[in-house]
Amino acid sequence: QMCIRDRQSTGPQEFRKARDSLKLHYTNVIGVMAKSITLKTGQLMPLLGLGTWKSKPGEVAAAVKTALELGYRNIDCAYVYGNEKEIGAALKEVFDSGKVKREEVFITSKLWNTFHNKELVRKNIESSLSNLGLKYLDLYLIHWPHAFKPGTENFPKKEDGSIDYSDVHFLETWPAMEELVKEGLTKAIGLSNFNSKQIEQVLNIAKVQPSVLQVECHPYLNQKKLVDFAASKGIVVTAYSPLGSADRPWAKPEDPSLLDDPKIAPIAKKHNKSNAQVILRWLVQRGIVAIPKSVNPERLKANIDIFDFELDESEMDVIYTFNKPWRACPLDRDREHPLYPFKEEF
């Protein structure tokens, strides 16, 4: 049985700040206290979710079913991951069983780069909804700020093998995202992998405001300035690769290994938790939604078991000092694109 104490006058300043500015809430889900955060739309988004990037067909359905049984109520998907159909089959099985209702699960998907043309935006969300077997999404994000040439390939190539980009700007795409909300295809919209200047551009034209920003975030890339900027605009941050994405296909032997960092071990030992649990706790205690990916039942269980302890202010501060900054997903392929988001400081 997990429990949470909501401290009113004591506890880490970081936790109180995040709680007060972003309205942290607690919802009871099948005996598991799952902490949630309130979006601009009034929706509750659970602070711990299941990531599905790199989850292979044949494994992802079992992971989704196990996660929902364990009390997960936040599933992060994307068209380009290529596994939404299998996720949809798992969701249908669970919803049909009556154990969990559709409205109890927060489900996200993302607009892929080949669908940035305003007339293609609806087509892409409809593909995701069809694959997932859903009538609506809780959140739909623009996956990257830059666009690829539309067509049947997710990664269209020129003759020289380089990516065939489109010159559609994300400011042309955003009004089509807003239409999806009006039509009831998604409850909220947001951005992924956008920097502060790009977010500001969207905010300047938005009739429907972005509710969420999804970016890579972990102790080696703590994103403090970007998280503070987002909070100042009422935007909730979701952390992808929160544990450093050790299984990323382009990993190099010399890359740092976050989960093996010896500086985390004393904190983990003190709380009788794993390094991964401490990292996830550090994120959610900042008011950041974490979406670790796993298909391993034991790890799925451990990842959500982070609401029965609290890091004190000194422990939070120690983990802040790990910042390198280092990216697991630098997207070097698109570095020369004018809308490449990671050249800015934040």
**Residues catalogued as catalytic:** 81
Nearest residue to 115 (alpha-carbon basis) of 144, 82, 81: 144
CA 102 to chain centre: 19
DSSP category for residue 293? B
**Tokens of residue 191, six digits:** 């951005």
Contacts 24+ apart (CB under 8 A), 20-24: 21/231, 21/287, 22/231, 22/236, 22/287, 24/287
Distance CA 263, CA 164 (A): 43
Q: Are 184 and 136 in contact (CB under 8 A)?
A: yes
Alpha-carbon distance 19 to 158, whole Å?
48
DSSP letters of 200-218? HHHHHH-SS---EEEEE-B
CA–CA separation, 251 and 246 (whole Å): 7
Pairing of strands 106-111, 74-76: parallel
